[in-house]
Amino acid sequence: MTWIMKTFRLEEATALLGTLRPLVCEIVRLRRDLAIGLLEVDAAARMQPDAGMSGRAATLANQARVLQARIARLAEDIQSYGCTLKDIDLGLLDFPAIRSGQLINLCWKLDEPTIAFWHGMDEGFAARKSLSRRRNQ
């Protein structure tokens, strides 16, 4: 089986932001809702230790499972465009690209207006470099 990775030109990745930004906003919101929901499940379960997962705790746990399923579907939708969802809490996406003959990731975070950074395939967010820097620096 041959696996082919889609690579993006900066213009292509940038053009997708209009489609992806609302999806990323939604997944970030759902992830926060899930984190709060899981805390509520834990608190409700502690209030009724003998009852196990019944009543309010069971209802909250079911709501958390629904949120988890929605997050998973949304993550699949986002990644179906060829990018990689790297961090749900930050709303961080990587777009595989070629720069100076090397495979790299164009890196975008939800609070950024456009794609302005890149990093090597074996590097992460902390190693981001500005796209505006000259290529041979």
Instruction: Give the pTM.
Output: 0.85
- The reported pLDDT for the residue numbered 83 is 96
Predicted local confidence at residue 42, as pLDDT: 86
User: What angle (nearest 5°) sits at the alpha carbon of residue 64, between those of residues 50 and 44?
Assistant: 30
Res 137: pLDDT: 40
Q: 136: pLDDT confidence band, cut at 50, 70 and 90?
A: very low
Structure token pair of residue 48: 């009724």
* Residue-wise pLDDT tens digits, 1-58: 666 779 999 999 999 999 999 999 999 999 999 999 999 988 887 877 665 556 878 8
Please choose, from the candidates 76, 78, 72, the residue with its C-alpha nearest in 3D space to the C-alpha of residue 24: 78
pLDDT given for residue 43 in this prediction: 86
Instruction: Give the model's pLDDT for residue 46.
Output: 81
User: How many CA atoms within 13 Å lie on the side-chain side of 7?
Assistant: 11
Q: Which two tokens stand for residue 6?
A: 């889609």
- pLDDT tens for each residue of 66-102: 999 999 999 999 999 999 999 999 999 999 999 999 9
